[in-house]
Chains A and B, each alone.
Chain A
Amino acid sequence: MKTVDLSVSIGKLKLRNPILLASGTVGYGNEISDFIDLSILGGIITKSISLKPRKGNKPQRIVETSSGMLNAIGLANVGLEEFIKEKIPFLSNYDVPIICNIAASSIEEYVECIKTLDSVDVIKAFEINVSCPNVKDGGLQFGNNLMMVGKITEQVRSVTEKTVIIKLSPNVSYISEFAKVCKENGADAVSAINTVVGTAFNINTRKPKLSNIFGGLSGPAIKPIALAKVLEIKRSVEIPIIGVGGIMNWQDVVEFMIVGSSAIQIGTLNFIDPTAAVSIIKGLNDYCLKNNIESISQLTGAYILE
């Protein structure tokens, strides 16, 4: 019987398949491990870690919308110290690459987190969340500012040899310009996209449904946006792209790969079906067999525009 090579590479990272679980949708792996053997995955991206623990936003943090959901969790996390002490030992039990997502409110904080985590063996790569408020610059998000994204990438690159992935915000005019800056400053890959800014109001109270007023939209509602952003990057910058945004099944994965993704992330779907990766991996394997694709990486950017 013919076999399919599902493995893909992102920078120095070699993944057994292109399926990653997205940051903020798997915690630190322990809850979801009750449902799925983590070792079948391409990798796990941990919930954003910041230098100090963050309490996160007040309730209400989540609102369901048409084919999607808004979240404003506020980067709630246990902080670097507890992450290393309490969460890493659990993740070390699995033969799965851990990609550590970092959130910070200053460039120095990004650098300090990575310096500390760089020596942790099971962490194979860093995903930098630039959709965080830049405290020094009045709270505007780093991710909307080309120069800041360039600086963060450069500084982070200078303190680690591990794979560096920048998670890009879709809330910009031209995402490809950001991908270009990431590449120029030494990033190995970009993740596209983070959530899309949205809000929802209660028509009776006239108040926002989220305590934070604005939240990040995820789920199938944003898939077409994410596909367009991945394609935009693919057509203008040569950098590996990790596609993310509303993936619900293996067909969506194939679509993301065709428009240019080297790997993908499952996000919101983990909340609904924490076992989804199992059927997705099987579906990808069957699709490749049926279409005589020997290596799934052949799909990356295999779009035909006419």
Chain B
Amino acid sequence: MFIVNSPVVELSEIQKAIFLQKIKSPEIADQILPGQFLNIKVTEGYAPLLRRPFSICDVEDENIFLMFNIYGEGTRILSCKQKGQLLNILGPLGKGFNYNTDFDLAVFIAGGLGAAPFPYLTRKLKDKKDIISFVGGRTQSDVIKYNFLNYLVATEDGTEGFKGNVIDLFEQEIKKYLNRRIKIFACGPNGMLKALSDSLKRLNNLTNNITCEISTESAMACGFGICQGCPIQDANNSEHYYLICKDGPVFNVNDVVL
């Protein structure tokens, strides 16, 4: 965990309104793991005041990649950065995905911008494990398929792929693989994660071969545990909150209340 000033290399629009920022940051690239995040100061002044948390999207040699849409002032400023301009980056932060555990089928589930952490995880796992991916959105333009392998698409309005939510699609398809040791990695809106958790309860009646990690998100100020701004309920202790920034953002689905 450290602070570096790293130059923007290039911004690309991977699909309408979805951007990929390439940043040269050998220090971060060397240490960061899939599912971890960075807290970035997008301006030198105090407007906006706080850093902005971004999931690590990918790492290639000395470069790191962030995926974002223009949601507010911070991401608008980020999208205007020119080549060579410096970003003040604090990271790597949080606990990422545990992808070196015992399983033989990796299942990725992403909703909307929840696609962000998967290119890096795909890079780490593609030569070691079988991967199937489920990618969802409300409508076709929300679906981000960037660098997913072996994917199926769900849209709630049926404009692409399966009509319905991505968890319904997952639950229908996963039944073909229940003889394998499955590890699910999921990232997306809270509603999607909750639906996934419910789905797993149903599937657990059929198999005990599935484990699942989810990447959560929250408003936060510091990103490293001092502001206490990002609590998530501990599923095993009603008197305790985990902090998403420090104890997460990746949790075992059974450890938190969504």
Interface residues of A (CB under 8 A from B): 24-27, 31-32, 34-35, 47, 53, 55-64, 66-69, 71, 73, 76, 219-220, 248, 268, 270-275
Contact = CB atoms under 8 A, between A and B. Distances in A.
Given A64-B49, A68-B49, A271-B221, A59 B230 contact: yes
A268 B229 CA distance: 12
B230 A61 contact: yes
Contacts of B1: 34-35
A35 B3 contact: yes
A31 B218 CA distance: 19
A88 B8 CA distance: 42
B231 interface: yes
Contacts of B49: 64, 67-69, 219-220, 268, 272
Given A31-B226, A272-B221, 4 more contacts: A55-B240, A56-B241, A67-B47, A271-B222
A62 to B, nearest CB: 4
A27 B241 contact: no
21 contacts: A24-B227, A31-B222, A31-B246, A32-B226, A35-B1, A55-B240, A56-B241, A59-B218, A59-B230, A61-B229, A62-B220, A62-B230, A64-B48, A64-B50, A64-B221, A71-B229, A271-B226, A271-B227, A272-B41, A273-B3, A274-B224
B169 to A, nearest CB: 29
Contact of A53 (B228, B239, B246): B239
A274 B1 CA distance: 11
B236 to A, nearest CB: 14
Contacts of B246: 31
B200 to A, nearest CB: 23
A260 B149 CA distance: 63
Contacts of A274: 3, 90, 222, 224, 226
Contacts of A73: 227-229
A270 B241 contact: no
A271 B3 CA distance: 12
Given A271-B226, A272-B51, A62 B46 contact: no
A161 to B, nearest CB: 30
Contacts, number: 99
B239 A248 contact: no
Given A62-B221, A66-B47, A219-B49, A76 B230 contact: no
A220 B48 CA distance: 11
A184 to B, nearest CB: 35
Interface string B211-243: 000000011111011111111100000011100
B256 to A, nearest CB: 12
Nearest to A219: B49
A275 to B, nearest CB: 7
A76 B242 CA distance: 11
Nearest to A35: B3
B237 to A, nearest CB: 10
Nearest to A21: B226
The A interface is mostly helix, strand or loop, or mixed, namely loop
A53 B50 CA distance: 28
Contacts of A47: 228
B3 A62 contact: no
B219 A60 contact: yes
The 8 closest A-B pairs by CB, nearest first: A62-B229, A271-B222, A271-B221, A27-B226, A31-B225, A61-B229, A73-B228, A62-B219
A59 B226 contact: no
Contacts of A271: 50-51, 221-222, 226-227
A268 to B, nearest CB: 7
B46 A248 contact: yes
A67 B45 CA distance: 9
A100 to B, nearest CB: 16
B47 to A, nearest CB: 6
Contacts of A268: 49, 221
Contacts of B224: 31, 34, 274
A66 to B, nearest CB: 7
B79 to A, nearest CB: 18
B50 A58 contact: no
A53 B240 CA distance: 10
Interface string B22-57: 000000000000000000010000111111000000
A76 B241 CA distance: 9
Given A60-B219, A67-B49, A69-B221, A270 B226 contact: yes
Nearest to B47: A67
Contacts of A57: 231
Interface string B51-79: 10000000000000000000000000000
Contacts of B229: 61-62, 71, 73
Contacts of A31: 222, 224-226, 246
Contacts of B240: 55
Given A35-B3, A56-B241, A69 B225 contact: no
Contact of A275 (B3, B218, B220, B239): B3
Contacts of B239: 53, 55
Nearest to B1: A34
Contacts of B241: 55-56, 76
